[in-house]
Structure 1
Amino acid sequence: MSVSSTYTPDAQLDLRGTPCPINFVRTKLSLEKMAPGNLLEVWLDPGEPIEQVPDSLTMAGFQVEQITDCSGYFSLLVRRPNAVSGRG
């Protein structure tokens, strides 16, 4: 119910120095272990990681909510979507 916790990550993953596509795979695996609706903060290097990982996560069905340039690396906030029920 708290609006202030909208961008408070439930977990953090430091992938600075991790090459593509391993950084995407590790991010995806971490998100899949989290509860639906939870938010993961991922630290990525500039260049290919920040160019590729957000797009790959979006295509995989995750919600990229915020990208912040932290001077030397980027902070990416990604939310695991709520499970879609098979009702109806």
Structure 2
Amino acid sequence: MQDTKIMELPAHDRAIDITAETCPMTYVRTRLALDSMAAGEVLLVRLRGAEPRANVPRAASDQGHDLLDMVDLPDGSAILVIRKAED
């Protein structure tokens, strides 16, 4: 069932994998990716662990970005879908 949901993710403009990072670098990498994108573009962030799963979405939301979805993957990681806020 998860594979079907992954196929339904919105089109994206950029994707990053931060599964090897630890906080606070998880959001630093996400923030750098978002900073290099245009308003309205969609970023997929693959992350792993309780801290990144809680902190990255919260920090992105605090910065005004839209959290579109979080999809759990069978390997224990997740994909966070973020739309960059209007400038």
Query: What's the TM-score bracket when you normalise by the shorter of the two chains?
Result: 0.7 to 0.9
| Candidates 68, 71, 80, aligned match of 2:84 | 80
Matches for 1:62-73 after TM superposition, within 5 Å: 62-71=65-74, 72-73=76-77
Unaligned stretches of 5+ in structure 1? 1-5, 84-88
Runs of 4+ in 1 over 6 A off after TM superposition: none
Please list the CA deviations of residues 32-83 of structure 1 after superposition, one character each: whole Å capped at 9, or x if unmatched.
1101100000000031110111011101111111000012101000011122
CA distance in 2, matches of 1:43, 1:28: 14
Encode CA deviations 1:1-46: one digit per residue, 9 max, x unaligned.
Answer: xxxxx81111100000200110101101111110110000000003
For structure 2, the residue ranges without an aligned partner over 5 or more in a row are 1-8
- For residue 86 of structure 2, give the secondary structure of its aligned residue in structure 1: coil
Counterpart for residue 40 of structure 2? 37
Q: Letter of the 2:81 partner, please give it.
A: L
RMSD between aligned residues: 1.3
Tell me whether 1:49 sits opposite 2:87 in the alignment.
no
Letter in structure 1 aligned against 2:47: L
Q: Distance in 2 between matches of 1:76 and 1:9?
A: 11
Paired residues, number: 78
Q: Give the share of equivalent positions with the same residue, in percent.
A: 31
Give TM-score scaled by structure 1 length.
0.83
